[in-house]
Amino acid sequence: MTFISMSKSVSRGVTCAGTIIAGPSQSSCELLKEVKKTASMLDTGAEDDQMMILCKEHFGVEERCQKAYDVARAVGNALQAAVK
């Protein structure tokens, strides 16, 4: 189970968004049900305008995420090399 922030990667900072991804295990499915209950109680589900923004801004998200990963990896490699 993992949380994925979509506020920058997908919406480009236009709106806040996130999602929970659960695997097929029973414990993940049970926990996901509780997360859904809590989100419902707190009214933190996505509104129509947020979903429209996410759909509109989704174009190119894979490339943006790959570029961000490449930068983070290069920084990590440079930091490791610096401390050797």
pLDDT in tens, 15-24: 988 989 999 9
pTM (whole model) above 0.75: no
Say how far apart CA 44 and CA 16 lie, in whole Å: 11
Distance between first and last Cα of the chain: 34
pLDDT in tens, 22-51: 999 999 999 999 999 999 999 998 899 999
Taking Cα atoms as reference points, which of 75, 76, 65, 72 lies closest to residue 5? 65
- Enumerate residues 6+ apart whose C-beta is below 8 A from 22: 1, 28, 29, 31, 32
One-letter amino acid of 68 = A
